[in-house]
Amino acid sequence: MNLAQHLQKNCECKDTQKTILAAASASIDIYQALKVQKIEYTHQENTSGETQLSHDLIADEILAKKLEATGSVSCFVSEERASEMCFIKHIPNKLVVAFDPIDGSSVASSGLAVGTSMGIYRGVRNFLEATGRHQVASVYFVYGPRIICVYSTGKGVHLFAYDEEAKQFNLEQENLKLKDGLKICGIGSLQKSDNIAGFTDLINHWGKEGFSLRYSGSMTADMNGILKRGGGIFAYPDSKLRLLYECNPFAFLIEQAGGKARDMCGRDILDLPIKAIDDTSPILIGATKEVEAAEKFLMKACKIN
Ligand code: F6P
Ligand code: MN
């Protein structure tokens, strides 16, 4: 079964179907750009102060054009843009979309997998009225040896791979689920570990328990590893990862797969208010037991602001 057929069966909302298919079509062009064009730093920064790469901007443009053509999306925010962009003003019930065009882009030039992540919202006029619970769907793409597409519209999490010959995404795994007890961890923000209470104890705990480290510098690829293997945990205890572009889309998928995404203060990521489009949060995300165990160590570092 291909992606279009699966969406037809699994999602009543035509606008959501069209948006996911537009993102899938964009992913093929983004992958092509990654394969053929040299990756260079530009002289521009995004709102998080990260120097933008040529590919971040190319992917951003590709996605914006594909989304506009759907007629289903009124507005979007992108990690590469300073403010919300609207194709059409305030169309009730149309979708609003948040995406990171190339997540982890700085590791692409080392030959590592990178990805696109996207949260799709309905029923909000602007993101500042929303939480991650307003997402009606979430999708990501991983650009590695093949393009992998994983989506959820609130009815399970489904994985597809792009077939270059048939030129379509074919279903590989339906209803991905996370189980407890898989000893895989990813941990970012080591450089801040001195300032984060419980951080060193957590690393020692994982070491004693025999966890394997899987951390690539690209959250999308690492989250795909967790969903694909069916367990484990990814933690970024410093507040760097953005709610709209990274935390919310993955939290939606992980909850759908039976796991948890928390902010170190015991709050679900999906319940956090969005006060600015580039808001960030600490995140513990993965199988329930692993998240709850890590939370016991890192709760000490909870800062509610
Ligand atoms: O876009 C943010 C991001 O690149 C994630 O994809 C990744 O997990 C993280 O930042 C890497 O951060 P660091 O370089 O601090 O490990
Ligand atoms: Mn990112």
Identify whether the C-beta of residue 149 lies closer than 8 Å to the C-beta of residue 141.
yes
- As a whole number of angstroms, the distance between CA 22 and CA 156 comes to 20
Is the beta carbon of 237 within 6 A of some atom in ligand 1? no
Query: Residue 237: what pLDDT?
Result: 97
Mean pLDDT by runs of 10 across the 305 residues of the chain is 97 96 98 89 89 92 97 95 86 89 93 97 87 97 97 98 97 98 97 94 98 98 98 97 98 98 97 96 98 96 81
Query: Residue 125: what pLDDT?
Result: 79
pLDDT in tens, 4-35: 999 999 999 999 999 999 999 999 999 999 99
Enter the tokens of residue 142: 């991983």
Is the beta carbon of 217 within 6 A of some atom in ligand 1? yes
Identify whether the C-beta of residue 205 lies closer than 8 Å to the C-beta of residue 257.
no
- As a whole number of angstroms, the distance between CA 95 and CA 91 comes to 9
**Nearest Cα residue to atom 4 of ligand 1:** 104
30 phi, psi to nearest 5 deg: -65, -45
* Ligand 1 site-directed mutation target among 143, 214, 219, most atoms within 8 Å of CB: 219
Query: Residue 126: what pLDDT?
Result: 81
Identify whether the C-beta of residue 215 lies closer than 8 Å to the C-beta of residue 188.
yes
Query: Residue 305: what pLDDT?
Result: 58
Domains of the chain: 3-173 (3.30.540.10), 184-301 (3.40.190.80)
- Which ligand lies nearest to the CA atom of residue 218 in the structure? 1
**Nearest Cα residue to atom 11 of ligand 1:** 217
Q: Measured in angstroms, how far is the CA atom of residue 182 from the centroid of ligand 1? A: 23
pTM summary value: 0.97
**Nearest Cα residue to atom 3 of ligand 1:** 104
Enter the tokens of residue 78: 């992108």
Whose tokens are 């030129």? That residue is 167
Enter the tokens of residue 111: 């030959």
- Which ligand lies nearest to the CA atom of residue 113 in the structure? 1
Query: Residue 40: what pLDDT?
Result: 85
Query: Residue 129: what pLDDT?
Result: 83
- As a whole number of angstroms, the distance between CA 22 and CA 260 comes to 28
* Ligand 1 site-directed mutation target among 240, 279, 281, most atoms within 8 Å of CB: 240
Atom of ligand 1 nearest to the CA of 188: 16
Is the beta carbon of 247 within 6 A of some atom in ligand 1? no
**Nearest Cα residue to atom 8 of ligand 1:** 219
* Ligand 1 site-directed mutation target among 102, 196, 218, 223, most atoms within 8 Å of CB: 218
Query: Residue 88: what pLDDT?
Result: 78
